[in-house]
Every structure is written in C-alpha cells, then in structure tokens.
Structure 1
Amino acid sequence: MIKRNYSTIIVGALALVLLFVPEAKAMMQQGLMKIGLFQPKLEKIDSLNNQPKTVAEANYKFDMVDADGKAVSLDDLKGKVVFMNFWATWCPPCIAEMPTIQVLYDKFKDDKDVVILTVEVEGKREKVAKFMARKKLSLPVVYPNSDIPKDFFNGSLPTTVILDKEGNIAHTTVGMADYSGKDVEDFINELKINK
C-alpha cells in the first residue's frame, strides 16, 4: 500500500513538472523530435487535385529590429531565401525546436543567399539575451517593428515561414518541428537555385 502511494506521488509530481515547467516540457518534446516525430512537411499540397501548390505570391511588408537596434526589412532581404521562426521564451515547443534551428543556422550562416531569423514576438530583449546565453544559441534574434503579416503569423507559437528569393511564401509550419534534417537543407538549397 505504501509503495502504491509513493508511485502515485512520483507520477503526480512528474506530471506537475511537465505541466508547469517549460524547460521540462521542452526536454520531453526534444526527445520526441529525436525519434523522428515533428518533421516539417516541406511541400504544400493543393487539396483539390492533390498536386504541389505553387508558392503563395504577395508583396509582404514587415520591419524588424535586431538586438543592437539595427533595422531589418523584408525589402532588404529580397534576393535571398529567408527562414523566419516566430517564438517566445515561455513557449515549450519553441524551446524544444531551437537547437534544431541552430543546426540549420550553422549550415547556412556563411551563405550570402540564405537568411535565418528567429522573431521573438514579445520584445523581451533582456530575457531573450539571458535565454540565448543559457542555451548557448547564436541564432540571430529580431523583434517586430511593424505589424506582422497575418500570412506569416496568426498567433500560434511556434510558427515558421520560409520565403523564396522573391519574398513569396514557399513553406509554413505551425507548431513544433525539427529543422536539422537534410530535407530542410535540400528544400532551402532548391529555393536558392529556383526562380
């Protein structure tokens, strides 16, 4: 009887930790990503005829500012493939996928045709700086300096958008995903060479 009570207490305590501690939930989600769950679906499908969709064409306006106060605009990034991840420090799925985005960033950080940005949506710069240092992440962080286009971000965290060289949406993932795989690298490289 006593053993059953201890096991109930332990299971209850673990459930509470997972429920209320974002870092613990993120660790569990990272484990699930490592076994192959949460892979981004890199091809949009037209539901009417089950064929790949063309990119969503639009002339998006979005201004951001980096941690040093330098302005970054989508207009300035035309001609490059842009990977943007919308996140917040309190979001467990965001925390879980950050190491995979770091892997992707490390692959492309010296590529002048690719820009990888993490867009922290709450603007808590000091908290973000501490978070990035604690997690040993070197990802470029920017903050919205204008309204975020609804096609990019509808409030669900995390959300990732990949833009082609013309600034059109080539891919969107709402929710956590593993961006460290070769399939994501190949998708970005294909966007680099396609018109």
Structure 2
Amino acid sequence: MNKRKFSWKDIPGWAVMLAIFGVLYMTGLHTEALGQVQRLLLATGIKNANMPDLEPTPSTPAVSVNSPMATAEMVGADFQLVDLNGKVVPFNSLKGKVVFMNIWATWCPPCIAEMPNIQKLYENVGSDKIAFVMLSVDAGGREKVKKFIAKKGFTFPVYMPASEMPQEFESPSIPTTFVISPEGKIVAKQMGMAEYDTKEVREYLQNLAKK
C-alpha cells in the first residue's frame, strides 16, 4: 500500500492563516499588520471624521471675554499631562486654544492606522491657536512610547497622563478623539478610528480658533 505523499495544498486555509497570525503575534508585528489593513480602509474615505456640527453656523454669537462661558472652568481643568521628556503640563494651560486630543496606545491597531493622517492634519492646520494632545494610555512607560514615536517619525505633541483621567475623557474604547473649544468646552467627540486630514475638519478647527 502506497503512502500518500504530503502536499502543502493539503493544509486548510484557516490553518495557514492561524499560523501566520501566530507568528505575527509572537513577534509583536500583529498590531502593525492590522494597523496597515485598517489604514487602507481609511484611505477609501468611508471613515471620515463624523463630528457633530462640523461646519460652524454663522448664527453662533461670538463669545465675549467677560461672558460666563469665557470665564467658566475648562473641562479637565485639574488634569495633569507629562510629555515624553518628563515635563509636566497642566491641561488647563491650553485654555484659550482649540484642543485636538486623541487618546491612543501603541498596542491599538486602529490607533496606529489613523495616526499618519493626524500627523498630516497637524502639519496642515497651520495655527498656533490649535493645540494637539496625542494622549498615550500605554502602561509601559514613557520610553516605550518615545521609541514608538521616534520610529514612526511623528512630530505632533505626545503626552501621557500624570494624574487621574478626568471623567469627561473616559471612553469604553480607543482611539477616541475630542475637540475642545477655546472656552474649554467639548464640542466634538469621535469614538473609533477616522480620517481627520480633510478640508472639512481643517476648516472647522481653523474657524473655531478664530472665535
């Protein structure tokens, strides 16, 4: 009786995929691989940021510096950030600027997928009245995050929490992005990955910064 010769074609497709994913997982490359796939999804334009009231309405009155809104406490006023060089930055120091805050982590594929387009947004908005806060919630410490950012070549400001996360910024999933007005109020929130470097988002941030 002849023994049947082994053929790679006999291996089920699911087993091949499982083996590939296993190798990626063991080498730590699965996050990057999934991020690349999700980045292709963003490139299609079907996941553009869906912020409420993306276009500011002309009827919105300007905020006087003496108005209650202007003097109200900023959301997360007691929150403390620390940058990748160890400098502590009070979140309240950003009041008066539009804050684009993205909560992310190095182990999160959709976070990695959207970061290149956030980098482009950072480069393209061109206003010192718009502050970017890329807030890493990694548990591995600053050095891990610092190495990741350096490897990717990102130049947007990156921070980590230096105090307890304010309740207003809590989210069941990441990435989550908040836009905070110069008056210190959350005006938009996006849960999940999205394409932010669009004409609509750029104009929204720039118009908000002019108020």
> Given the two structures, how large is their TM-score scaled by the length of structure 1?
0.82
Decide whether the 8 Å contact of 2:179 with 2:189 is kept in 1. yes
Question: Structure 2 unaligned runs (5+)?
Answer: 1-5, 55-71
Cα displacement (A) at 1:189? 1.2
- Out of 88, 92, 98, the residue aligned to residue 105 of structure 2 is 88
- Match of residue 50 from structure 1: none
- Match of residue 60 from structure 2: none
- Match of residue 186 from structure 2: 169
Q: Are residues 1:116 and 2:116 paired?
A: no
- Match of residue 62 from structure 2: none
- Structure with higher Rg: it is 2
- Out of 39, 48, 51, the residue aligned to residue 39 of structure 1 is 48
Question: Structure 1 unaligned runs (5+)?
Answer: 46-56
Q: Which amino acid aligns with 2:124?
A: K
Cα displacement (A) at 1:168? 0.3
> Percent sequence identity over matched residues?
38
Decide whether the 8 Å contact of 1:42 with 1:187 is kept in 2. no
Q: C-alpha offsets along residues 87-123 of structure 1, whole Å, 9 cap, x if unaligned?
A: 1111111111111111011123x52211011001135
Decide whether the 8 Å contact of 2:102 with 2:135 is kept in 1. yes
Q: Distance in 2 between matches of 1:18 and 1:186?
A: 40
- Out of 53, 58, 73, the residue aligned to residue 90 of structure 2 is 73
Q: Distance in 1 between matches of 2:53 and 2:73?
A: 16
Q: Which amino acid aligns with 1:136?
A: G
Q: Return closer, same or farther for 1:18/1:169 CA change in 2, 3 Å cut-off.
A: farther
**What CA RMSD, in Å, does the superposition of the two structures yield over aligned residues?**
2.5
Moved more, 60-69 or 8-17: 8-17
Decide whether the 8 Å contact of 2:74 with 2:92 is kept in 1. no
Q: Return closer, same or farther for 1:135/1:192 CA change in 2, 3 Å cut-off.
A: same
Q: C-alpha offsets along residues 113-171 of structure 1, whole Å, 9 cap, x if unaligned?
A: 11011001135211111111111111211111122222222242111101011110011
Decide whether the 8 Å contact of 2:127 with 2:206 is kept in 1. no
Q: Distance in 2 between matches of 1:16 and 1:32?
A: 23
- Match of residue 67 from structure 2: none
Q: Distance in 2 between matches of 1:81 and 1:136?
A: 24
> Given the two structures, how large is their TM-score scaled by the length of structure 2?
0.76
